[in-house]
Structure formats: structure tokens, C-alpha cells
């Protein structure tokens, strides 16, 4: 099962993902896609249909821990570049309502 934040790449460090506009259409049921973080839907939307989907790299990025998970490596390894992209992405371009604040340890002084 794909999780937030899912993205794909063709191995050229160019991330493929659903931005806020596309996600809004999906959530409003104005799109043929059912979920906002499906690798298959992302691949299809960007023209990688059928067996072409298997030639993509598929990633999931945890926005809280900043950990990138590789789901499938179907092309040249560009995980370092994708990780850097995710670390620097303004997540408000993906989910404008999302507010991420630093985690503060409850037993340590600030």
C-alpha cells in the first residue's frame, strides 16, 4: 500500500508526484484516479502505462522522519537526488493545509 508522500522517477532525478492541484481533483472525485499516493496512478498520469510503469523508480518519503524508502528500483538509481529533492520540497505545494513543526523532546530543555 502506498503511503504519503509517494513519488516516482525515470532514473534521471526528475520526480513525478501529485501536487496540490491534482490531489484536490482526485479528492473531489473529478479524476479517474482514486488515491493521491498510488505509484500506479502517478505513473499513469505521467504517461508510463502498463509495462512502462515497471521501468520507474518508486519511492515513499516520510515527511516527519525525512526517511526515503525505495519501493522499486526499475531505472538508474537516483535515490540520493530524490532524497535531496524531498528534503527541500515545500510541502505546501503538495498539501497546503499540512503544518509540520519540529518535534520537541518533553524531558529536555530547549
Residues 6+ apart with CB under 8 A from 28: none
Give mean pLDDT, residues 42-51: 92
Give mean pLDDT, residues 10-27: 93
- Distance CA(23)–CA(12), nearest Å, equals 24
Binned at pLDDT 50, 70 and 90, residue 57 comes out as very high
Helix (H) or strand (E) holding 95: none
Residues 6+ apart with CB under 8 A from 105: none
Average pLDDT value over all residues in the chain: 90
What are the residue ranges of helices labelled H in the chain?
A: 20-27, 39-45, 79-88
DSSP letter assigned to residue 101: -
Binned at pLDDT 50, 70 and 90, residue 78 comes out as very high
Binned at pLDDT 50, 70 and 90, residue 110 comes out as low
Per-residue CA distances from 94 to 19, 23, 31, 54, 107 (Å): 4, 8, 17, 24, 33
Amino acid at each position: 500500500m502506498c503511503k504519503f508522500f509517494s513519488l516516482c522517477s525515470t532514473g534521471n532525478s526528475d520526480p513525478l508526484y501529485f501536487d496540490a492541484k491534482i490531489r484536490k481533483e482526485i479528492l473531489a472525485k473529478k479524476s479517474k484516479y482514486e488515491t493521491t499516493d498510488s505509484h500506479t496512478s502517478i505513473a499513469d498520469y505521467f504517461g508510463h502505462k502498463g509495462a512502462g510503469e515497471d521501468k520507474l523508480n518508486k519511492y515513499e518519503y516520510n515527511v516527519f522522519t525525512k526517511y526515503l524508502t525505495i519501493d522499486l528500483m526499475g531505472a538508474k538509481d537516483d535515490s540520493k537526488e530524490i532524497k535531496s529533492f524531498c528534503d527541500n520540497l515545500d510541502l505546501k505545494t503538495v498539501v497546503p493545509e499540512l503544518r509540520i513543526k519540529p518535534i520537541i523532546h518533553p524531558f529536555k530543555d530547549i
